[in-house]
Amino acid sequence: MIAKVQSAAALGMYAYPVEIEVDVTTGLPQFIVVGLPDQSIKESRERVRSAIKNSGYQFPPEKITINLAPADIKKEGPAFDLPMALGLLAATDVIPAERLAPYLFLGELALDGSLRPIKGAIVIAASLKNSKSFVVPKENAYEAAMEKDAVIHPVNSLSEVIQFLRGEKTIPPISYIDPERFLVPIEEPLNFSDVKGQHFAKRAVEIAVAGGHNLLLIGSPGSGKTMLARRIPGILPPMDFEEALTLTKIYSVAGLTNGRSVIRERPFRSPHHSISQVALVGGGPWPRPGEVSLAHGGVLFLDEFPEFKRDAIESLRSPLEDGQITISRVKMQITYPARILLVAAMNPCPCGFLSDPRRACRCSLSQIQKYKAKISGPILDRIDLHVEVPTLSYQTLASDEPAENSEAIRSRIVRYREIQSARYRDRDYNLNSLMRSRDLKQFAKPDAEGRKLMEMAMRELHLSARAYYKILKVARTIADLASEENIKSEHIAEAIQYRTLDRQW
């Protein structure tokens, strides 16, 4: 007898249905699976066999053939364990085959028959909710239930699903969870009120976040670079539900939702400098989102920036430009969102103490130059602000002077973002940092004095054309902070300060 079971597979941010046909005939005992890559077939077969036995049912000693269709799309992963086991049990009349029809089944089986979560559940729920109800492992249920109108039956084990399909047990679907409940602001544990002094660096951070400008922090060990960077997600505008849903999908595909429902904190990702290109921007035989997508809507922090592999850093160019990353494979293309604020940090020299008043730097000039030259021009191109973070004096660190908290900074950021959204309402971008060069004339035109200053800076500081555009965009943001429609020379002057590295080279 042949049984058919519906399942699905996520491919990037979308999913497609997979039909599982199970044929059990008399003959020499055999268990053939068609349509999965070799290694996963072997493992799936063992899990299905053990889970059925350990749930108290007989594994049929007959000729079993399972086909996963469509055959031409590559499938991966253990999510088909549950539907394969159910197909087998339906083909041998343990469960009534007609009861399978309204559902789509997903789940990895443990050897004892309990269910393990799968990757991409919410993506599958989003793409296929209009055709079926879903039976999914409990750990995936809350995530999938964030998708409006999806009907989700959470289950713990194979035997529970069998009871459900035989009508011996009811499993009510969990209801759609009101998104408003998930958008209550959560207490941000890391607050800017902890950061003493550093008025210059904090000002730069505010400009960076306001206009979406990527930022490079340069300072000695212990000067507070990591401390500053970690607090940035807490001053970004709160996420709306759509953004949170997108982020949840990315984490789901990466297998990182951990039984949680929607992800509502803006991410802070800080991969180690030994990270590979694939892990950073995504890829692999089954393209997974990389760090740049896991940081979507938040901060990607690259500490010890010059130590990163060159090809990894270079691969950031296109996501930084497009806000997304496309991974191409034979017959398929997967696109993941990747709109990030890049925050990089580095020491001022190889020993680290060049700018530290308390310890002497032992580096030679050529060592320092070589160190800085490790960051390539094209990637420096994408960083709008270079900021020196000085080592604070003991007096500043020990002082009790209260610092401004993140909530206050964030409410200003929200206002600066509104100014930009209004300005760019007819454009396909909404941040000063994303302004197209052709729009600079209209939106970022300095007044006469500003133009004079700009000319002088270009000449005397030997600024490149790329630095010129960066300065104008940052000056636009600085003018927005001052609620000024026109860019004045003081805004230009401040923007020039944030191009330290252009000047030193």
Return the residue nearest ligand ATP (CB atom). Answer: 224
Q: What one-character-per-residue DSSP string does 150-212 give? A: --EEEESBHHHHHHHHTTSS--PPBPPPPGGGGGSPPP-SS-GGG--S-HHHHHHHHHHHHHT
b or e along 73-100 (b: 16 or more beta carbons within 10 Å of the residue's beta carbon)? ebbbbbbbbbbbbbbbbbbbebbebeeb
Q: CA angle 383-387-390, nearest 5°? A: 155
Identify what 351 binds: Zn ion, Mg ion, ligand ATP, none; CB under 5 to 8 Å per kind.
Zn ion
Residues within window 338-367 making contact with Zn ion, judged by CB under 5 A: 349, 351, 354, 361, 363
Name which of 227 and 501 has its Cβ closer to ligand ATP: 227
Residues within window 218-247 making contact with Mg ion, judged by CB under 5 A: 226
Identify what 337 binds: Mg ion, ligand ATP, Zn ion, none; CB under 5 to 8 Å per kind.
none
Please report, as a single letter, which amino acid is at residue 50: S
**What is the nearest approach in angstroms of Mg ion to the Cβ of residue 350?**
16
**What is the nearest approach in angstroms of Mg ion to the Cβ of residue 406?**
19
Name which of 117 and 219 has its Cβ closer to Mg ion: 219
**What is the nearest approach in angstroms of ligand ATP to the Cβ of residue 305?**
11
CA distance 108 to 239: 32
DSSP-based three-state secondary structure for 427? coil
Name which of 216 and 281 has its Cβ closer to Zn ion: 216
Identify what 354 binds: Zn ion, ligand ATP, Mg ion, none; CB under 5 to 8 Å per kind.
Zn ion
Identify what 219 binds: Zn ion, ligand ATP, Mg ion, none; CB under 5 to 8 Å per kind.
ligand ATP
Identify what 318 binds: Zn ion, ligand ATP, Mg ion, none; CB under 5 to 8 Å per kind.
none
**What is the nearest approach in angstroms of ligand ATP to the Cβ of residue 198?**
5
**With contact defined as beta carbons under 8 Å apart, do 211 and 431 qualify?**
yes
- Which of 480, 497, 487 is CA-nearest to residue 210? 480
| C-alpha count within 13 angstroms, C-beta hemisphere, residue 498 | 33
Q: Which stretches of the chain bind ligand ATP, using CB under 6 A?
A: 195-198, 219, 221-227, 347, 392, 397
Identify what 185 binds: Mg ion, Zn ion, ligand ATP, none; CB under 5 to 8 Å per kind.
none
| Total binding residues toward Zn ion, as defined by CB under 5 A | 5
Q: Are strands 2-11 and 103-105 parallel, antiparallel or unpaired?
A: unpaired
- Which of 329, 364, 342 is CA-nearest to residue 291? 342
Identify what 392 binds: Zn ion, ligand ATP, Mg ion, none; CB under 5 to 8 Å per kind.
ligand ATP
Task: Give me 331's structure tokens.
Answer: 């017959």
**What is the nearest approach in angstroms of Mg ion to the Cβ of residue 222?**
8
DSSP-based three-state secondary structure for 437? helix
Give me the residues that bind Mg ion (CB under 5 A), please: 226
